[in-house]
């Protein structure tokens, strides 16, 4: 990695450097913010799915108990 960096040409980071860096950082920040928002949405979906799965399992278990009680009766 160090030898690769040594072989690459030096970037002229003078006055223009901060503007170029700013432009690329803005792009990366926007991308990261978008991905973070999407990740929070996905977390919410995951939470809801977990809740629904728990509910479905509880529902199935109580339906099974009802059936057993009916058979006993």
Partner 1 sequence: MYGKGLRPLSIATVAMLALSLSLVFFYAPLDADQGFIQKVFYIHVPLAIMALLGFVVGGGFAIAHLRSGDSRWDAYSYVSIHLSVIFGVAVLITGAIWAKASWGHWWVWDEPTLVSFLIVFLLYATYYPFRYAIEDRERQARYASVFAIAAGAFVPLNFMAVRMAEQLVHPRVFATSSGGLPGEMMLTFLCSLVAMALLWLTLVKFELAAKSTSGQVKRLRRALDAPGAAGKSRIAPEVS
From 1, 11, 71, 73, residue interacting with partner 1 (rule: CB under 8 A): 11
Q: How far is CA 60 from CA 2, 65, 70, in A?
A: 61, 9, 15
40 phi and psi, to 5 degrees? Answer: -65, -35
Alpha-carbon distance 53 to 7, whole Å?
A: 56
* Residues near 21 by beta carbon (within 8 Å), at least 6 away in sequence: 13
Indicate the residue among 33 and 71 with the shorter CB distance to partner 1. Answer: 33
Binding track over 44-63 against partner 1, x by CB under 8 A: xx-xxx-xx--xx--x----
From 1, 3, 8, 73, residue interacting with partner 1 (rule: CB under 8 A): 8
Is residue 67 close enough to count as binding partner 1 by CB under 8 A? no
Indicate the residue among 15 and 70 with the shorter CB distance to partner 1. Answer: 15
């Amino acid at each position: 990695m160090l030898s690769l960096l040594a072989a690459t040409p030096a970037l002229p980071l003078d006055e223009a450097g901060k503007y170029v860096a700013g432009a690329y950082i803005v792009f990366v920040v926007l991308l990261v913010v978008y991905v973070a928002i999407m990740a929070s949405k996905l977390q919410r979906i995951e939470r809801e799915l977990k809740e629904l799965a728990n509910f479905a399992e509880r529902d199935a278990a109580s339906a099974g108990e009802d059936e057993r009680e009916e058979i006993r009766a």
